[in-house]
Amino acid sequence: MSTTAHREITQEQASASRFPNFFIHILFALSWLSRNLLHLRRNPRSWQLFRVALGLAGAALVILPLSLWYSWTSGIVGMVMFTAAILLPRAITETPANRKARELGAPLVLDGGKYQAGNAPAVAVQIFVSAENIWALDSRFQPLLVIPAPEISSVRAEESSAGWNLRIRWLDHVAEFSYRGIFAELLARRAESSLRAALPAAPLAAPKRRAAGA
C-alpha cells in the first residue's frame, strides 16, 4: 500500500513539474506566432495571400458541414475564420528594423536579450545575421558589436544562476548575450539553433568537444 501511495505521489509531483514548462511553451508559441504574423503583415503581398487563404478556408469549413450534415462545430470555426479574414487590418509599411536588415544584407534578425559592451550598462539588442557578419544593434540601431561570421567557432546557449546566456566564440574573443524572464531558455535556445543553421562554421565546435571527450 505504501509503495502504491508513494508511486502516486511521485506521479503527481512529476505532472505538477511538467505543467509550468508546458504552460511556458504555450505562451512562447503564442508569442512566436504573433511575431510571425506581425512580420507577415509587413509584406503586403504575403499578408494579402494570407487573408485570402484564411477566408477561403473559413468558407470551406462553413459550406462543408451544410453539405455533409456531420458537424456544426467546424462551421462555427469557419465563420470565425471568414470574419477574421475580412476584419484583419491592411499590411503595415516597412519598419526601421526591416530597413536596417535590408541595409546590412541580413535576412535573419534575432532577439539578442541584453548585451554589455565594455563597462557600459547592459542594453537590449537585436542580432542581425548575414553570411559575412553578425551585428548586435541597440534600440537606435547603433552597432555595439560586429563579429565576422566566417571566424565564429562556436555558438552555445548555457544556463546561468540568473537566467540563460548565449555565448558566441570567434578567434580569441567571446561575446555573451543574457536572457532573463520565463522565456529566457526558449529565446536563448532559439537564437542558438537559428545561428547554427545560418552559420555552417558554428556547429563545427561540437564534434571537436566530443572528440576531445572520447
Residues 189 and 152 in one domain: yes
Residues 119 and 17 in one domain: no
Task: Give the pLDDT confidence score for residue 43 in this predicted structure.
Answer: 61
pLDDT interval class at 88 (50, 70, 90): low
CA triple 104-96-100, angle to 5 deg: 5
Q: Which of 60, 87, 114 is the last residue of a domain?
A: 87
Number of domains in the chain: 2
Range of the domain at 145: 96-211
Q: Which of 87, 121, 148 is the last residue of a domain?
A: 87
pLDDT digits (tens, 9 = 90+) for 149-197: 999 999 999 999 989 999 999 999 999 999 998 889 989 999 999 999 9
CA–CA dist 46, 99 (Å, integer): 18
Residues 75 and 119 in one domain: no
Residues 72 and 126 in one domain: no
**Mean pLDDT along residues 13-31:** 53
Task: Give the pLDDT confidence score for residue 59 in this predicted structure.
Answer: 74
What does each C-alpha distance from 142 to 127, 130, 146 come to in angstroms? 12, 17, 11
Task: Give the pLDDT confidence score for residue 82 in this predicted structure.
Answer: 65
Residues 23 and 116 in one domain: no
Biggest CA–CA distance in the chain, Å, is 69
Cell, residue 153: 567557432
Residues 129 and 178 in one domain: yes
Residues 151 and 187 in one domain: yes
pLDDT digits (tens, 9 = 90+) for 90-115: 666 567 888 899 899 998 999 999 99
**Better-predicted residue by pLDDT, 103 or 6:** 103
Q: Which of 8-12, 33-37, 159-163 has the highest mean pLDDT?
A: 159-163
Global confidence as pTM? 0.59
Residues 83 and 100 in one domain: no
Residues 102 and 189 in one domain: yes
Residues 62 and 127 in one domain: no
Residue 3 has pLDDT above 80, yes or no: no
**DSSP states of 5-70:** HHHHHHHHHHHHHHHHHHHHHHHHHHHHHHHHHHHHHTSHHHHHHHHHHHHHHHHHHHHHHHHH-S
Residues 125 and 72 in one domain: no
pLDDT interval class at 27 (50, 70, 90): low
pLDDT digits (tens, 9 = 90+) for 38-85: 555 556 676 677 677 777 777 777 776 665 555 666 667 777 776 766
Task: Give the pLDDT confidence score for residue 14 in this predicted structure.
Answer: 47
Q: Which of 57, 87, 117 is the last residue of a domain?
A: 87
Share the mean pLDDT of the chain: 75
Which CATH number goes with the domain that contains 178?
A: 2.30.29.30
Residues 25 and 106 in one domain: no
CA–CA dist 198, 4 (Å, integer): 50
Task: Give the pLDDT confidence score for residue 162 in this predicted structure.
Answer: 87
